[in-house]
Structure 1
Amino acid sequence: MKLFATLVSALLLATAGFSTQANTAAVPTYDDPYKMMEVLADKTFQRIAADQPKIKQNAEVLRTIVSEELVPYIDSRYAAGYVIGQSVKLNTVPKEDFNTFVTAFQNYMVGTYAGVFTQYTNQKVIIEPGQPVDKQRKIITIKTRVIDPGKPDIKIEFKLRRMKDTNTWLVYDMVAEGISLLDSKRSELGSLIRQQGLLSVAALLEEKAKAPIKAPEKKKDA
C-alpha cells in the first residue's frame, strides 16, 4: 500500500524544490486548479505507459518525463523554503546559496520519483470533481484516490497555492496516509542543514541525484 502512495506522490515531485515554473511560454497555465491536476495526472501516466519500451531499455527516460511533465507545476521556491524551515534564517542566506539548494533539491527529488515510477503498472488516479474556488482563496486542498484492483483505495491530498499577482495555481505539498511530504523532508534534512550548512546539504543532495534510476528497495515488512 505504501508503494502506491509513494507512486502518486510523484505527482508532487517532491516533491518540492524546482526552479521551473508554470508561467513559461512553453507550458500551459491553469486558473482552475482541478483542471490542472486532471491534465497533469493524465499526461504523466499516459506518457509513462506509452514510453514503456524505452523505459525498459533505459530507466533514465523516466527522469526526463518527470522533469518535463511534473516539475513545471511545482511551487519550487516556496516548497524549498518550507523544507529549510527554521534550520537557518533565510533573510541571512545569500540568494545564490538558496538557489543552489533549490536546484540540488530538485535534482534529488527528480531522481527519487523517477525511481518510484519504475513501479507504475497502470493504476488509476481519480481526482475529486471540480468546484468553484473563491477568488480570495490562496490555498486549497484537492483530494484524490489511487485505485488498484484487489487493494484498498489510497487517499491522497494535494495542496496548491495561488501564485502572487496571477490566477495560476501550483502544487506545493501532498499528504499521503496522513503524512505530509514537506513535513517529512523538513524533518529529514533540517538537522543536517543546522549542523552542516545549506551548501553542504545541497552538495550531498546533488551527489545522491547522480545515482542511476532504479526501483526503490522494498522493506522487509512491506
Structure 2
Amino acid sequence: MNIVKTMSQLLLAASLVISASAQAEVERFTDPYQMISVVADHAFSRLAQEKDNIKQNPEILRTMVHEELLPYIDVRYAAFRVIGNHIRSTTEEERDAFVAAFQEYMISTYAGTFTLYRDQRVIVEPGQDVGNRRVATVRTRVIDPGKPDITIEFKLIRHRDSEYWQVFDMVAEGISLLDSKRAELGGMIRQQGLARVTELLQERAKQPIELAEPEE
C-alpha cells in the first residue's frame, strides 16, 4: 500500500472526535449524517487547539480518544465481528476480556492516527433519508493540501433497542479497517485461541504514543 493509502486508513479516525468535555452528557444522534458532520467539525478544531500540548505529551491523545471518541463507536459489535465464527468456541468471560482488550488496543491505534494531523479538512456528503434502516454508510472526503482527496466511508449501526447511531467500521479508499483487523487477528484466534490474542492486544495497547514524523 502506498503512503497516501496508508495515511488515509490511519486518518479516518480523526474525523470521529467531538469536543464534548463541556457538556454534562454525551451528545447522541438520531441522524447519521449529522453525527459525522458534527464530530468531524469538532475533531480538527480540538486537535488544533491541543497541538502544542500534544507535542509535549503525546499521551494526551490516548485520554482524548478514551473520553470523547468511544461513545460514538460500537466497540463490542466491532470486536465480535473480528472474532467471527470463532465465537462459538469461546466462553462469555473470554469474549468480555477480548472486548476490553480490543477497546484499549483501538484507543492506542486511534491515538496514533491523531499524530498525523496536518490541517486536513473533512467534507461530508449531503444527508439522505435512512428510513427504518439499521445500517447506514456516510461518505466523506478528506482534503489534505497538496495531495489527492481521500474518500472515506463510515459504517454506522442503529440497534433495534436504540434510536441512536454508532460507528462500527471505516473504509478508506476501499479498504475496511474492520476487515483488516479480522485478517490480522482471525488466524491468530484460530491457531492460538482468543485468550492468547487478548493478551497480545493488551501488550500492544501499552506501547507509548509517539509523534509521527512529517511526510516528505
Say yes or no: does 1:113 pair with 2:110.
yes
AA matched with 2:69? L
Q: Which residue of 2 aligns with 1:178?
A: 174
Q: Which residue of 2 aligns with 1:8?
A: 11
AA matched with 1:80? A
Distance in 1 of aligned mates of 2:102 and 2:15: 13
More helix by share: 2
Query: What's the TM-score, normalizing by structure 1?
Result: 0.86
Q: Which residue of 2 aligns with 1:76?
A: 75
Contact kept in structure 2, 1:4 and 1:146, CA below 8 Å:
no
Say yes or no: does 1:145 pair with 2:141.
yes
Contact kept in structure 2, 1:141 and 1:157, CA below 8 Å:
yes
Q: CA deviation at 1:11?
A: 4.5
Q: CA deviation at 1:41?
A: 1.5
* Number of residue pairs the alignment of both structures matches: 206
Q: Which residue of 2 aligns with 1:129?
A: 126
RMSD: 2.1
> Which residue among 101, 105, 113 is the counterpart of 1:104?
101
Q: CA deviation at 1:103?
A: 1.0
CA deviation map 1:27-74 (0-9, x unaligned): 111101111111212222211111112101100001111112211101
Contact kept in structure 2, 1:75 and 1:170, CA below 8 Å:
yes
Secondary structure of the 1:27 match is coil
Distance in 2 of aligned mates of 1:62 and 1:94: 33
Gap runs ≥5 in structure 2: 17-23
> Which residue among 186, 191, 199 is the counterpart of 1:190?
186
Identity percentage over the alignment?
A: 56
> Which residue among 74, 91, 101 is the counterpart of 1:94?
91
Structure 1 204/83 Cα, relative in aligned 2: closer, same or farther at 3 Å? same
CA deviation map 1:117-157 (0-9, x unaligned): 111011001111112221x2111110000001221110011
Structure 1 74/11 Cα, relative in aligned 2: closer, same or farther at 3 Å? farther
CA deviation map 1:180-203 (0-9, x unaligned): 111110000001001111111011
Distance in 2 of aligned mates of 1:49 and 1:218: 16
Distance in 2 of aligned mates of 1:44 and 1:114: 12
Q: Which residue of 1 aligns with 2:51?
A: 52
Contact kept in structure 2, 1:12 and 1:173, CA below 8 Å:
no
Gap runs ≥5 in structure 1: 14-24
Query: What's the TM-score, normalizing by structure 2?
Result: 0.88
Contact kept in structure 2, 1:140 and 1:161, CA below 8 Å:
yes
Contact kept in structure 2, 1:62 and 1:114, CA below 8 Å:
yes
4+ residue stretches of structure 1 with deviation over 3 A?
215-219
